[in-house]
Amino acid sequence: MAAVRNRANGNGVATQPKVSTPEQPQENIFLFIPNLIGYSRIVLAIASLYYMPLHPRTCSLLYSISCLLDALDGYAARSFQQSTKFGAVLDMVTDRCTTTCLLVFLAQAFPRFSIIFQCLISLDLASHYMHMYATLSMGGSGQSHKNVDESRSWILKQYYSNNKVLFTFCAMNEIFFIALYLLSFSSPLLSPTLLSDRNSPTSIQPGSPAAPKPSMFFTSPFSAGAMEMARANKMDSTVPWILMLTSAPVMALKQYINVVQMVKASQWLAEGDREARRQAGLPRPHHE
C-alpha cells in the first residue's frame, strides 16, 4: 500500500511536497482581432494622407473605409469577448488623429477660415482628453469613458449609451469634413482659384508657347502650384454639396456635445478638487 509521507526539515517540521499547477497561457492583447482592425485603420489613414494633396477620390475612399472600420472593431470586441482598455484608447487616439489631419488640410485649403478649423481641432482634443482624464481620476481606473451617469449629463448619456447614435454622429461628422475636402477641389464658390480658365491660351513671356505643360512650371508634384493644378482638374460638386449640407446639422450638434463634454468634465474634476482640499483641511486659517 502506497503511503504519502511527510518530510521533516532540519527543525523537525513536517512539510507537504509542492504540487505544480499548470500556468495559464498569457494572452497577447496586441494581437486581438479588434486591435488588428485598429492597426488597419491606421494604415488606411496614413495612405489617405499620402493621396490627400493631389488625389481627392482615392483619398476620400481610403479615409472613408478607415472610418467605417471604427464600427467593425467595436462589434468584433463584443463578439469575441476582446474588449480591452488598450483597444479603447487605440480607437479614440486613431479617431482624434485622423480627424485632426483632415482639418489641418482644410485649414490649408481654406486659409481664410483656418482659425475655425484650428478651434475645431482644439475643441475635439481638449474635450475628449478632459473627459477621459475625469473618468479615470474620478470614476476609477476600471470605469469606461462611455459609462456616463444620466444625472451628470442627459445628452452625454444618450450619446454614449446607444452605439447606433454614437456611430451616426461620428459618421456624419466625418462626412461633413470629407465633403468639404472634396469641395475644395470642385467648387469655385469655396475655392475662387478654380474659376480660372485653364484652356485659354496663355503666354508667360514673349516667345513662350501658349498653354505650356504643367511640368514646365511645377517639377515637384507636391508643390503648392501642383496642388492648384490638381484642383483645376474639375470634379462635379453636386454630390459633395448635398453631403455637406445634409450632414451640417449633425456636425454642429456634435461640436455642441464636445462643448458639453468638456464643461461637464471640468465640473467633475472641480468637485474632486474641492473634496480633496476639504479632506486636507484647506484652506488653512492664517494665524496673525
CA distances 4 to 12, 20, 220, Å, are 17, 17, 84
Domain chopping of the chain, boundaries: 29-194+221-279
Beta strands in 107-250 (DSSP E): none
**Residue 41: which of 164, 156, 174 has the closest Cα?**
174
pLDDT one digit per residue (tens) for the chain, 288 residues: 444 444 444 455 555 555 555 667 789 999 999 999 999 999 999 999 999 988 899 999 999 999 999 889 889 998 999 999 899 899 999 999 999 999 999 999 999 999 999 999 999 999 999 999 998 888 766 677 777 888 888 999 899 888 889 999 999 999 999 999 999 988 878 877 666 544 444 434 443 344 445 444 555 666 666 666 666 556 788 999 999 999 999 999 999 999 999 999 999 999 999 999 999 989 888 765
pLDDT score for 30 = 96
* Contact assessment for residue 85 and residue 29, using Cβ atoms and an 8 Å cutoff: no
Please give the Cα distance from 273 to 26 (Å, whole number).
Answer: 39
Please give the Cα distance from 245 to 76 (Å, whole number).
Answer: 33
Query: Residue 10, SS3?
Result: coil
Q: Please state the φ and ψ torsions of residue 15, each to the nearest 5 degrees.
A: -130, 145
The length of the chain, given as a count of residues: 288
| Burial class (CB within 10 angstroms; exposed 0-12, middle 13-18, buried 19+) of 99 | buried
Residue 259: partners with Cβ closer than 8 Å, 6 or more residues away: 123, 127
Residue 37: partners with Cβ closer than 8 Å, 6 or more residues away: 69, 72, 73, 76
pLDDT score for 227 = 64
pTM of the model: 0.78
Please give the Cα distance from 12 to 9 (Å, whole number).
Answer: 5
Query: Residue 45, SS3?
Result: helix
pLDDT score for 228 = 60
CA distances 76 to 29, 67, 209, Å, are 14, 15, 60
**Residue 57, all three cell numbers:** 477620390
CA distances 192 to 25, 77, 288, Å, are 62, 46, 70
pLDDT score for 114 = 95
pLDDT score for 200 = 45
Q: Which residues are catalytic?
A: 95
**Residue 192: which of 101, 112, 105, 247 has the closest Cα?**
112
pLDDT score for 53 = 87
pLDDT score for 120 = 97
- The CATH number that domain 29-194+221-279 falls under is 1.20.120
